[in-house]
Amino acid sequence: MSLLSLFTTLALASIALTKPVSYPRVPCTPRSQTISWGPCSFPNLGSSPIECGILFVPVDYTSPALNETFGLPLFRSRATKPVTPSKGSILFNFGGPGYEAVQSLNSLADFLHLGVVNTLRFSCFDTPADRLIAAYKFPILAIGATDVALVDTWASTQVYSNICQTKNNNTNRGGVIGTAYVARDMMRIVDALNEDGLLRFWGFSYGSLLGETVAAMFPDRIDRLVLDGVVNGHNYYHRQGVDVDQLLSADDAFLGVLDQCITAGPAKCALATVNSTAADLAKALNRLAEEIRTAPIAVGDTVINFTFVKELLFIVIKYPSDVANAALHINNLLHRQNLTGVVDYYKSLQASIAMGDDDAIWGIKCSDTFPRSKELSEVMPDIEHMSNTSSTFGPYVASVTTICANWPFEAKERYAGDFKVKTRFPILFVGNTYDPATPVASARNMSASFEGSVVLEQHGFGHASLSQLSACTTTNLQAYFVNGTLPASGTVCEVDASLFK
Ligand SMILES: *[C@@H]1O[C@H](CO)[C@@H](O)[C@H](O)[C@H]1NC(C)=O
Ligand SMILES: *[C@@H]1O[C@H](CO)[C@@H](O)[C@H](O)[C@H]1NC(C)=O
Ligand SMILES: *[C@@H]1O[C@H](CO)[C@@H](O)[C@H](O)[C@H]1NC(C)=O
Ligand SMILES: *[C@@H]1O[C@H](CO)[C@@H](O)[C@H](O)[C@H]1NC(C)=O
Ligand SMILES: *[C@@H]1O[C@H](CO)[C@@H](O)[C@H](O)[C@H]1NC(C)=O
Ligand SMILES: *[C@@H]1O[C@H](CO)[C@@H](O)[C@H](O)[C@H]1NC(C)=O
Ligand SMILES: *[C@@H]1O[C@H](CO)[C@@H](O)[C@H](O)[C@H]1NC(C)=O
Ligand SMILES: *[C@@H]1O[C@H](CO)[C@@H](O)[C@H](O)[C@H]1NC(C)=O
């Protein structure tokens, strides 16, 4: 049974996460608005037709008298086998924006009958080239890369905040992007769909945080909510837009992948020849990163440095669909052979997860979060916590905690509650055992405060449940969406195939 068969009974709609930078000023039309669907201006990525629509929503829900609206782009794929009566639409959010969304787009569009494209969004630069130049001049460095990487990064993030402030100072944009706004947009979409006024939603990664927020703000309007690859919302709102527990499973995930590699053997995983246990192999790869830290290698137009090695390893365990090929390249790197091939592979991975050309991801996260920090010392506990929770990836990821510290804008509306909420229908949280970016512990944490909710653990690898197929997970999701059946608490689903097939 594939996920697809679930969706043959349901119509789908998806939302774009954020707001265009230059939106048309049109008068607010009252409630009864509907979405008119038509062909899209971009080619279909898969075989299932995608329709495009626009819904005009308020720019600033906190100042309705301004009457200012903008067109929120929507994409939908209709059910291939509609049922009567319809079960209603499911909204999706793939996370990001940018990072996860692009990954999802490339690998899942056909699978889920769905397309998501980028829209113009919150921006701190006139052109993508300007953003690129700023990223080189003021980089967010892996704190493990050099002795001064952290203090340099702290100063860089201050400059980034300054640039964003200057660019958006007179627009008020910075105060009207934020998750609470997106949550209200989602309910506008639900209204405009003219169904039963209830929300059905499947959110991945950041989309889970959006789902937590919408559930806490509109508990009476929740029909089905699957939150998959779960972000700890307490941390997100109070720790500079970062789930400081995000790496809780990262070392386990790393060791787990290496263990699968050794079990699969050299014919399926090139790295299996290196050492005979996952722990030894992990040590060898950490030593590799350390060697390259002090002796980076120039290859064509690229420097293989500490960040390169850590990023390569992290992307591979976060998106393990091509892991056998990755193992080949990592083994080459370990033996300093065919480095051109390694660099090309790294570049292809990077391209597949490239960020969108905007600043919305940090604009949203940073506007949402409170309090800010004036001194680096104030974020040090979070950096330490992340470094302590993952010895392999903490020194690569932890610097993200500095980005929002000096952010100049605050969302005018922000969810400030404790998520102690009873939703109209219980939430289904989903988490992978070996997810290096959203640990199942965060799913458990959030489930604890949403009354009646259940955690489904998928015993597999990668970021969120779609990274590996599991007939068990699919069956449980179908039962939830179609019949409203929640899995028994403590349910663990195995995946269908091992990582190295
Ligand atoms: C908004 O619309 C209302 C009703 O049409 C009108 O009375 C009001 O003047 C408008 N406000 C602005 C700022 O245009
Ligand atoms: C932003 O605008 C305010 C008031 O218009 C002004 O006082 C301030 O200097 C501006 N800040 C920047 C960074 O441009
Ligand atoms: C693991 O492999 C590396 C590289 O071949 C080697 O240097 C190291 O000694 C091995 N470690 C163990 C414990 O076998
Ligand atoms: C390492 O290389 C990356 C690009 O490959 C670059 O962004 C970074 O600044 C380099 N240096 C350090 C210290 O990470
Ligand atoms: C190096 O790697 C590339 C990309 O994987 C591959 O196409 C090429 O055949 C390899 N070259 C050698 C000499 O192994
Ligand atoms: C990190 O680990 C060190 C050493 O175990 C410990 O002293 C420190 O308190 C930990 N810091 C945090 C924030 O957990
Ligand atoms: C959830 O996480 C928050 C933030 O780390 C923490 O304060 C809270 O105690 C956790 N709740 C549960 C039930 O684990
Ligand atoms: C929904 O419940 C009906 C009746 O128990 C059952 O036959 C059907 O298989 C269930 N559908 C799903 C998708 O679980």
pLDDT single digits (tens) 435-467: 999 999 999 999 999 999 999 999 999 999 999
Q: Taking residues 190-218, what's their average pLDDT?
A: 93
pLDDT of residue 114: 35
**pLDDT per residue as tens digits for the range 412-441:** 899 999 999 999 999 999 999 999 999 999
pLDDT tops 80 at residue 183: yes
Q: How confident is the model at residue 2 (pLDDT cuts 50, 70, 90)?
A: very low
pLDDT tops 90 at residue 43: no
The residue whose CB lies within 8 Å of the most ligand 5 atoms, and thus the one to mutate among 328, 333, 338, is: 338
**Ligand 3: distance of its center to the CA of 270 in Å?**
15
**Ligand 5: distance of its center to the CA of 331 in Å?**
12
Q: Is the pTM of this model over 0.75?
A: yes
Looking at every residue in the chain, the average pLDDT score rounds to 85
**Ligand 8: distance of its center to the CA of 475 in Å?**
10
**Ligand 1: distance of its center to the CA of 66 in Å?**
7
**Ligand 3: distance of its center to the CA of 291 in Å?**
14
β-strand pairing of 199-204 with 222-228 = parallel
| Ligand 6 atom nearest residue 382's Cα | 13
Q: Taking residues 268-291, what's their average pLDDT?
A: 97
**Quick one: which ligand is closest to 25's CA?**
1
Q: Which residues, listed in sequence order, are joined to residue 203 by a DSSP beta bridge? A: 93, 227
Distance of CA 79 to the CA centre of its chain: 26
Domains and CATH numbers, the chain: 5-119+177-243+413-494 (3.40.50.1820), 128-174+356-386+398-402 (no CATH)
**Quick one: which ligand is closest to 246's CA?**
7
317 lines ligand 4 (CB under 6 A): no
pLDDT tops 70 at residue 44: no
Among protein residues, the one whose CA lies closest to atom 1 of ligand 8: 483
Q: Taking residues 470-481, what's their average pLDDT?
A: 96
3-state secondary structure 312-363: HHHHHHHCHHHHHHHHHHHHHHHCCCCHHHHHHHHHHHHHHCCCCCCCHHHH
**Three-state secondary-structure class, residue 173:** helix
One-letter identity of residue 173: R
**Ligand 4: distance of its center to the CA of 308 in Å?**
7
Q: Are 397 and 312 in contact (CB under 8 A)?
A: no
CA pair distance 446, 409, nearest whole angstrom = 27
Q: Which of 3-17, 74-88, 188-202, 305-319 has the highest mean pLDDT?
A: 305-319
- Beta carbons within 10 angstroms of residue 280's beta carbon: 13
Q: Taking residues 318-347, what's their average pLDDT?
A: 97
pLDDT of residue 82: 67
The residue whose CB lies within 8 Å of the most ligand 3 atoms, and thus the one to mutate among 274, 277, 281, 337, is: 274
3-state secondary structure 37-85: EEECCCCCCCCCCCEEEEEEEECCCCCHHHCCEEEEEEEECCCCCCCCC
| Ligand 6 atom nearest residue 384's Cα | 13
**Ligand 1: distance of its center to the CA of 179 in Å?**
26
Token pair, residue 319, equals 């998106």
| Ligand 7 atom nearest residue 448's Cα | 13
Token pair, residue 499, equals 């990582």
**pLDDT per residue as tens digits for the range 356-381:** 667 887 888 899 988 889 999 999 99
First and final C-alpha spacing in the chain: 19
**pLDDT per residue as tens digits for the range 110-165:** 444 333 333 336 889 999 899 989 999 999 999 999 999 999 999 999 999 999 99
Calculate what percentage of the chain has a pLDDT beyond 90: 63
Q: How confident is the model at residue 67 (pLDDT cuts 50, 70, 90)?
A: confident
CA pair distance 164, 409, nearest whole angstrom = 9
9 lines ligand 8 (CB under 6 A): no
